[in-house]
Chain A
Amino acid sequence: MLLLQLLINGLQLGAIYALTAVGFSLIFGATKIFHVAHGAAFTIAAYLFWWTNAVLGLLWPFAAALAVVAAVVFGLFMERFIYRPIQRHEGAFFTVFIAAFGVQIIVQNLIGTVFGRGFASVTTPLSHSVELLPGLFVAPVAALALVVAVIGFTALSYYLSRSHMGMAMRALSENPDLIRVFGLDPGRVAQYAFAIGSAIVVPGAIFTAMTAGLNPAVGAHVMLISLAATIVGGIGSLRGAAYGGLLLGLAENLALWRLDPQWSEAVTFIVLFLFIIFRPAGFFGRPYAAK
């Protein structure tokens, strides 16, 4: 029964990881910008949902909508005022990384100053487990996280493959000049990637506020997992990031079947190292050789 319990816990956590990793992967895949501040979008959305829903008592759909708006505005702000000016001058990967990392720390401190540095969580019956079988406890939020992850991923895949802007986003990663030839503005396409990538982080942020709870530093952990899932799934592949997130969530929980809880996070990175060594292109990434 313990194994089944760990499997269900792993699926719930994996769904949340997949939702955050897909956003990061979409932005990185389309723009090649290493958006470390993706974790900050998660933190902003999570805290705004908590504050408006748990503190101010706003109905959850409105609180969720506000969280989406805040995450999208943050993503667009990063693209327009941080990354674009850097890329206009030199665009070095390291400069972008440090700038994004700096923003992540600023957001962490601002959140701490505005909302407090303690623990915050949304109390809801959705996170309270019920005993389905003797020794098997499942919370409604587990099913909800899985359903939302599947719907979110399917909708995103459909949008990217069928809409003009979706195709433009995929093209942007290949050849920005080609985008111009077709009369599109690469900057505008990049903004769409940031807006959608930031918006898709919101369900994961809300589920985390309900299940694990929040602290201002929560974004750093999210970023680490998103990055690991993107590498495991194959850089640039949305499907890969989703599977990668799911795999890491499962690995983190199933590890407890035989190992101490102390090892749960280490297992995540063992999986990552195994992929880097034996399958560097990840699940669905394209293998490439150094020029």
Chain B
Amino acid sequence: MRRLRFLALLAAMHCGAASAQDSIKIGADLPMSGPNAEYGELFGAAASLAVEHANADKMLSKKLIIQFEDSQATPQQGVVAMNKLVNVEKVPLVLSAFTGVSKAIAPVGDRAKVVSVNGGGIGPDLAELGEYFWNVIPLVNLEIRVMAPYLVQERGFKKIALVYVDDPAGEAIQKELKENVPKAGGQMVAELQVPRNAQQFTSVAAKVREAGPDLVFIASFGAQQAQIVKQLRDNGVTQQLAGYSAFSSPTVTQLPEAKGALFPTQSVDWQAAGISERVAKDWKAKSGKEPNAYVANYYNAVMVFVHLAQALEKSGQPITGENLLRQRKSNGSFDLVGGKMEFLPNGSVSMPIQINEIDGAAGKLVKGGTMAK
């Protein structure tokens, strides 16, 4: 009996090895636990939809699979996960998220010549993390360069108070607002930095009220940004609220207190025939929700890999990080969700930015796609 069990175990291990050889694996270093796990769930589901489509359409010679590892949205855990994906799983490409995590894992990928693709982090310095770090999301400097003139000049919110988290993403937004709001003719009346783990903002609301702004800009993410919105509204802050693309997470868009808040995202026409329409339809069928820009980004991140791997397979080259990079440079543009995507020389993308208003449902477009100046 014991021998039989051993043989069964060997057979199972053999099957596992065989299935690993029969597949192409990429990695995903996303938060699956902790206060930002909601993002990991969303990003992972979008990436999985792309894998499902690629496998259904037999775009690659073998089945594509994703190995998920939990970054907890912290740089330390992100590096642990990245090391496992690079050294143990030997993946050629890793999906990344969050500015702090992305900055921490980039050197690991660079050393091992493994591509990292970010679809969620927005810090402007993510464009400078080396050849093996790519962004399929327009970075926050582009968002703010469209958002600041809109808020100040078109909507007349001259005095802006900022509540921002003390991490690279929050600090990047503070820097951009400080530069672009005065340029547009406005004034920053308060800049309140909050710790990343803070959960109480009643007294922050008191400081905001004291500053007397026309608009409060919130630069945080995950559960914290929803906590800030709720507590500001509960504690007498009645002014217009605004945020950056992280406001597109369901946690904020479905929050009653966030109704009317403004936020920018990249322009995506989900009704456009072809891939955009297909993704929108399948996403709604699976999740019961409208897709947002993050769905487009992580779907696109996987599809960039699929297109590059397809080209490498056609030319008989192995799918390695080095070859993916070479292929990306020679590929030109990609036909993806939202239209054609072209990488800039630094591995980032430039896209039109639209401004949305939270209306308690799918969101209302208040200003169409504009290219950042």
Residue in chain B with minimal CB distance to A263:
B195
A256 to B35 CA separation, bound complex (whole angstroms): 25
Q: Once the chains bind, are B226 and A119 in contact (CB under 8 Å)? A: yes
Q: Give the interface segment out of A20-28, A30-38, A120-128, A172-180.
A: A120-128
Residue in chain B with minimal CB distance to A7:
B203
Q: Note all chain B residues with C-beta closer than 8 A to A90.
A: none
Q: Which of B338-354 contact A (CB under 8 A)?
A: none
Q: Once the chains bind, are B203 and A253 in contact (CB under 8 Å)? A: yes
A260 to B192 CA separation, bound complex (whole angstroms): 7
Q: Once the chains bind, are B251 and A261 in contact (CB under 8 Å)? A: no
- Tally of contact residues, A, Cβ under 8 A: 42
Q: Note all chain B residues with C-beta closer than 8 A to A13.
A: 200, 202
Residue B281 CB within 8 A of the other chain = no
A9 to B195 CA separation, bound complex (whole angstroms): 18
Residue A43 CB within 8 A of the other chain = no
A118-B251, A128-B234 known; A256 vs B203 contact (CB < 8 Å): yes
A12 to B202 CA separation, bound complex (whole angstroms): 10
A221 to B35 CA separation, bound complex (whole angstroms): 11
Distance from B162 Cβ to chain A, minimum over Cβ atoms (Å): 12
Residue in chain B with minimal CB distance to A254:
B203
Instruction: Encode contact with B along A122-138: 1 for CB under 8 Å, 0 otherwise.
Output: 01000111010001010
Residue A217 CB within 8 A of the other chain = yes
A2 to B204 CA separation, bound complex (whole angstroms): 11
Residue A160 CB within 8 A of the other chain = no
Q: Note all chain B residues with C-beta closer than 8 A to A6.
A: 203, 206
Residue B57 CB within 8 A of the other chain = no
Q: Give the interface segment out of A64-72, A92-100, A108-116, A147-155.
A: A108-116
Q: Once the chains bind, are B204 and A256 in contact (CB under 8 Å)? A: yes
A211 to B41 CA separation, bound complex (whole angstroms): 26
Q: Once the chains bind, are A221 and B197 in contact (CB under 8 Å)? A: yes
Interface residues of chain A: helix, strand, loop or mixed (majority)? helix
Distance from B37 Cβ to chain A, minimum over Cβ atoms (Å): 4
Residue in chain A with minimal CB distance to B205:
A137
Residue B218 CB within 8 A of the other chain = no
Q: Note all chain A residues with C-beta closer than 8 A to B35.
A: 215-217
Residue B166 CB within 8 A of the other chain = yes
Residue A281 CB within 8 A of the other chain = no
Q: Once the chains bind, are A117 and B37 in contact (CB under 8 Å)? A: yes
Residue in chain B with minimal CB distance to A253:
B203
Residue B207 CB within 8 A of the other chain = yes
A112-B37, A117-B37, A135-B209 known; A265 vs B198 contact (CB < 8 Å): yes
Distance from B99 Cβ to chain A, minimum over Cβ atoms (Å): 18
A127 to B222 CA separation, bound complex (whole angstroms): 22
Residue A53 CB within 8 A of the other chain = no
A131-B236, A262-B195 known; A118 vs B223 contact (CB < 8 Å): yes
Residue B172 CB within 8 A of the other chain = no
Q: Once the chains bind, are A265 and B197 in contact (CB under 8 Å)? A: yes
Distance from A114 Cβ to chain B, minimum over Cβ atoms (Å): 13
Q: Note all chain B residues with C-beta closer than 8 A to A10.
A: 203
Distance from A199 Cβ to chain B, minimum over Cβ atoms (Å): 23
Residue A212 CB within 8 A of the other chain = yes
Q: Once the chains bind, are B235 and A137 in contact (CB under 8 Å)? A: yes
Q: Once the chains bind, are A112 and B33 in contact (CB under 8 Å)? A: yes
Q: Once the chains bind, are B209 and A261 in contact (CB under 8 Å)? A: no
A141 to B207 CA separation, bound complex (whole angstroms): 20
Residue A79 CB within 8 A of the other chain = no
Selected from A108, A131, A212, the residue in CB contact (under 8 A) with B33 is A108
Distance from A119 Cβ to chain B, minimum over Cβ atoms (Å): 4
Selected from A109, A118, A131, A252, the residue in CB contact (under 8 A) with B38 is A118
A41 to B222 CA separation, bound complex (whole angstroms): 23
Q: Note all chain B residues with C-beta closer than 8 A to A109.
A: 33
A130 to B37 CA separation, bound complex (whole angstroms): 34
Residue B34 CB within 8 A of the other chain = yes
Distance from A53 Cβ to chain B, minimum over Cβ atoms (Å): 15
Residue B317 CB within 8 A of the other chain = no
Residue in chain A with minimal CB distance to B192:
A261
Q: Note all chain A residues with C-beta closer than 8 A to B199.
A: 212, 218, 221
A193 to B207 CA separation, bound complex (whole angstroms): 41
Q: Note all chain B residues with C-beta closer than 8 A to A5.
A: 203, 206
Q: Once the chains bind, are A119 and B235 in contact (CB under 8 Å)? A: no
Q: Note all chain B residues with C-beta closer than 8 A to A137.
A: 205-206, 209, 235-236
Instruction: Encode contact with A along B176-206: 1 for CB under 8 Å, 0 otherwise.
Output: 0000000000000000111101111111111
Q: Once the chains bind, are A129 and B194 in contact (CB under 8 Å)? A: no
A9-B202, A13-B202, A117-B37 known; A264 vs B195 contact (CB < 8 Å): yes
Chain B contacts to A: CB under 8 angstroms: 33-35, 37-38, 40-41, 163, 166, 192-195, 197-207, 209-210, 222-223, 226-227, 230-231, 234-236, 249-252, 255-256
Which 3 A-B pairs give the minimum distances between C-beta atoms?
A215-B223, A119-B226, A117-B37
- Can you report 20 residue pairs joining A to B where beta carbons are below 8 Å apart? A9-B203, A13-B200, A118-B226, A119-B38, A121-B255, A129-B234, A211-B202, A212-B231, A213-B226, A215-B35, A215-B222, A216-B33, A216-B37, A217-B34, A221-B197, A221-B199, A253-B202, A256-B207, A261-B192, A261-B201
